[in-house]
Structure 1
Amino acid sequence: MEGKGVFQVVLLLFSIAAISAAQKCPKGSPKLFVFGDSYVDTGNWPKNVSGTWKEPFGLTFPGKPDGRASDGRVLTDHIASFLGIESPTPYQLMKDDASKNTQQGLNFAYGGSGVFPTTWTWTIDSMTAQINHFDQVLKENEYSQRDLDNSIALVSTGANDYQFYFTAMKGFKDGLPAFTERLVNELAADLQRINHLGVKKIAVATLPPLGCLPLNTIPPNSYQSCDEEANKIAMIHNQLLQKAVEKLNTDDGNKCTFVILDLYNAMVSAIAQFRQNAENTEYKNPLQPCCFKIVDHICSVDGVCANPKSSFFFDLGHPSDNGWNAIYSFLQGSLNKDLRV
């Protein structure tokens, strides 16, 4: 009985703390503005460039290619669903068709982009460019201040910057620690700029466990284990990002303006759960992608596993629809605290 009483007291204190946090922090709203890379891009990738607008992407949802880097939904879709709205219209599609609904918000995310610009010719929309698009939309009076007062920004970016660093910037004179610090500082400035444009709540995702992406678990690891060195890079980045967000909230005077979505630990937990349940699935190894034939870094239509719905990763860098479902289940706790409408 004594142990039960202690548990009840702890539970009561936890409930009081949760209510207190809820009273101090304004809740989310039905307008969602999205910035970042392919983890959140729902259709800004150019249709005339090989990639997410071509088969086999979109196999599970909506049943055809639609610009998402997966066989189905991506992080944006889950966050929008959590907020009780449809995924916001991609900015490029809105530009092409003025009749597109923008009342849910807008998605400016661009697959392959990073915090910094890259030299990949089709990847021109860095975070700066994406925020410039947002600024222009606001100048055109697409949204009122009341809209912005009831809005959330979702930001997920940075992984491509590290890939670009290791493939094209190895000669960066000050080395990786200085690059990471510079990257996080620039990202923090981007988050602050979004806030200054009027968005009252900004949720930024941590880097995923880079060493667990199939691209980093291919032979000699044979998709069996994560690359711990790559994961360490992500963890250091995420620690600096956490500190930067804390500073932004201190400077802003509102500790709820900027919030962290812990994508790293959500993905690690989801992968572990997948392994634990492997006996009951057709796809035994979470680190082995559904796409077993990659041509020019893109999944080939004739190289897809028999049942994408049973995989965790769809291709070398992106979770499948099933993978994102699992990741979202581990993010929900923080969403309930930070983004509940």
Structure 2
Amino acid sequence: MEGKGIFLVVLLLFSLVAISTAQICPYGSPKLFVFGDSYVDTGNWPKNDRGPWKEPFGKTFPGIPTGRASDGRVLTDHIASFLGIESPTPYQLRDTSKNIQQGLNFAYGGSGVFPSTWAKDSLSVQIDQFEQLLDENEYSQRDLDNSVALVSTGGNDYSLYSAAKKGSNDGLPAFTEGLVRQLAADLQRIAHLGVKKIVVATLPLLGCLPVHIIPPNSYQNCDEESNKNAMIHNQLLQKAVEKLKTDDGNKCTFVILDLYNAMVSAIDQFRQNAANSEYKNPLQPCCSKIVDYMCSVEGVCTNPESSFFFDLGHPSDNGWNAIFSFLQGSLHKDLKV
């Protein structure tokens, strides 16, 4: 009887999981479509270029460089794992992979909402690529009914704006309004293409990225002006998304992924851990040699597991793990998974 009881308990658990999964994903595993920059790019960066196709990128995961701007996983990998699927194939590798059943990743490192001098594929271009595949019937409406879009972009737009203005904030409010307006139009376009759930990340804690630390190379004080600008952007984005929900009549689920405050909490937690462990200053990047904000081929990252940032602009695998731990709760609530 004892063995039979255990069997019934296990059977009940499997049944509950099956019912829950059926409610979340009535047509099987969800598909994830990803748009944005290096925080979510998993392999669209050109292989013959500098950067994430060279060591020490990928040292922690999967052990070799795969085009991710980190020693390991990036935000996309965590969202995919949360959905119970593998990270979707990068768009540039779709012909060699031939596995697009998990969705596709259109994100391109260095890109922005607006066209960028660092990358050819702006957010609008990435959505064009998605739309073309839909026109070619690569995905059905049934696929889209069970899909999630992840959008994370905007940081590069502000970096380029700051470089063009030589650090001046003259005209920044108008720039921010225009940027958020275009981003909202892109989100609306993704919804009109048939994706039912759209997760859009806020700007991260821009002023605490090592590239913005004051004074340079001290890794002590965040640039609070950059943080303030990111907060203003995020507030406008929140309002724009609320308006999209109203205009859409709630046909599509729009979810704000609060990357900014998750990073605040993760860095605070890191500092607390560092007081009694081998962890170092969270604002100091792991990579020993950096060129154009990214870890160079000659760079060495000896202890990524004790670092929060990999290079001047990107969290390490350890950093992303910490950040995502503060995002899971909202995803469970807003995506109802």
TM-score computed with the length of structure 1 as normaliser: 0.88
1:282, CA displacement in angstroms? Answer: 1.9
**Structure 2 residue 177 is matched with structure 1 residue 176:** no
Deviation at residue 340 of structure 1 after TM alignment: 3.7
> Following superposition of structure 1 onto structure 2, how do residues 324-339 of structure 1 map, counting pairs within 5 Å?
324-339=320-335
Query: Aligned residue pairs: how many?
Result: 312
Which stretch has the larger CA shift, 107-116 or 212-221?
212-221
Q: Deviations over 1:103-129 (max 9, x none)?
A: 000000000000000123xx1000010
Partner of 1:202: 198
**What CA distance in whole angstroms lies between the structure 2 residues aligned with 1:194 and 1:281?**
45
User: 1:177-326 to 2 correspondence within 5 Å?
Assistant: 177-217=173-213, 219-220=215-216, 222-254=218-250, 257-326=253-322
Matched residue of 1:324: which SS? helix
Alignment partner of 1:143 is 2:149: no
User: What does the per-residue CA deviation read over 1:17-64, in whole Å, with 9 as the maximum and x for residues that have no partner?
Assistant: xxxxxxxxx957611000000000000000011111111100000101
Q: Cα gap change, 1:172/1:273 in structure 2, threshold over 3 Å: closer, same or farther?
A: closer
Q: Deviation at 1:309?
A: 1.2
Closer, same or farther in 2 for the Cα pair 1:38/1:164, shift >3 Å?
Answer: same
CA distance in 1, matches of 2:326, 2:169: 39
Deviation at 1:145, TM superposition (A): 0.3
Q: Kindly state the Cα deviation for residue 237 of structure 1 after the two structures are TM-superposed.
A: 0.1
Of 100, 110, 113, the match for 2:111: 113
Deviation at 1:173, TM superposition (A): 11
Instruction: Please give the per-residue CA displacement for 1:241-284, whole angstroms capped at 9, x wherever unaligned.
Output: 00000000011111862110000000000000000111343232
CA–CA separation in structure 2 for the residues paired with 1:89 and 1:62 = 15
Secondary structure of residue in 2 paired with 1:187: helix
Distance in 1 separating the partners of 2:167 and 2:213: 25
Residue number in structure 1 paired with 2:77: 77
Of structures 1 and 2, the one scoring higher in RCO (CA 8 A, sep 6+) is 1
| Residue aligning to 1:40 | 40
1:136 match: secondary structure:
helix
* Structure 2 counterpart of 1:81, one-letter code: S
CA contact (8 A) 1:281 1:310 kept: no
Please give the secondary structure, in 1, of the residue aligned with 2:151. strand
Q: Kindly, what percent of the aligned residue pairs are identical?
A: 81
Q: Does 1:94 align with 2:94?
A: yes
- Give TM-score scaled by structure 2 length: 0.89
Instruction: Give the aligned partner of residue 101 of structure 2.
Output: 103
| DSSP-derived class of the 1:223 partner | coil
Q: 1:130 aligns with which of 106, 126, 132?
A: 126
- For 2:199, give the aligned amino acid: A
Q: 1:173 to 1:60 in 2, by over 3 A?
A: closer
Taking a change above 3 Å as real, the CA distance of residues 255 and 289 of structure 1, as seen in their structure-2 partners, is farther
List per-residue Cα deviations over 1:52-79 (Å, max 9, x = no partner): 1111100000101000000000000000
Distance 1:287 1:174, change over 3 A: closer
CA root-mean-square deviation = 1.9
The answer to whether the 8 A contact 2:162-2:168 is kept is no
Cα contact 1:246–1:255 (8 A) shared by 2: no
Deviation, structure 1 residue 323: 0.2
Which AA in structure 2 matches 1:104?
Q
- For 2:286, the aligned partner's letter is C
Q: What SS does structure 1 have at the residue aligned with 2:187?
A: helix
Question: Once the two structures are superposed, what CA deviation does each residue of 1:136-171 show, in whole Å capped at 9, x if it has no partner?
Answer: 111111101000000000000000000010112569
Contact kept in structure 2, 1:154 and 1:204, CA below 8 Å? yes
Structure 1 unaligned regions, length at least 5: 1-25
CA–CA separation in structure 2 for the residues paired with 1:231 and 1:221: 18
Q: 1:32 touches 1:152 (CA, 8 Å); kept in 2?
A: yes
